[in-house]
Amino acid sequence: MLKPGAIHYRPVGSAGTMIHMSIADAWLGLGDTLIVSPAPGLPHQRAAAMLCHALELACPEDLVVCLSAGVELGVHGALGPDAVVARRPRPGETRFLMPPLLVAEILSPDSAQGDLNLKRAAYGRLGVPSYWMIDPDPGRPSLRAFRLVRGRYREAVRATGDAPFRAEQPFPVEIVPSLLVAVRH
């Protein structure tokens, strides 16, 4: 059980591992609760990079794709999704002033429960219309796409392995889960 006002560390092995966590490690801030987990592993990082690359190739000029951009929840905290698609900021703006059009989270053993529950609910409250969840399991990679319907996310599509996922929102793009985790030789 998470206690408001406390700092929660996800178990990562030994106390020594905890000491060596860097400032770039994953974080989740909701209200007055801070959850810190270790930096994501290589499958997670590879899937995030490949997803952002695929999104960037299809992205129209009025939108922008960002890897690990902060999403502020006003006075309720901030989140760090793995990928964000948002309206392009005006010149001089250094932060997104409107909710993103899409947030994507790559599941990791250390972040799965937060991504599946806490973050998804927070993005829904913020009004993010599209939420994608990618499982980078090399043996069975998958992408689940959710659409915000009357304030709650409903699963719209699920693609696994080599099956392509074709999105229309926030713009037309095709994502093949197996290509997100493929290692080039």
DSSP state letters, 3-53: PTTSEEE---SSHHHHHT--TTS-EEEETTEEEE-PPP-HHHHHHHHHHHH
Predicted pLDDT of residue 117: 74
Output 105 or 69, whichever has higher pLDDT. 105
**For the chain, which domains are there?**
40-181 (3.90.1570.10)
- Summarize pLDDT for 4-37 with one digit per residue, the tens: 443 333 444 444 333 333 333 444 455 555 666 6
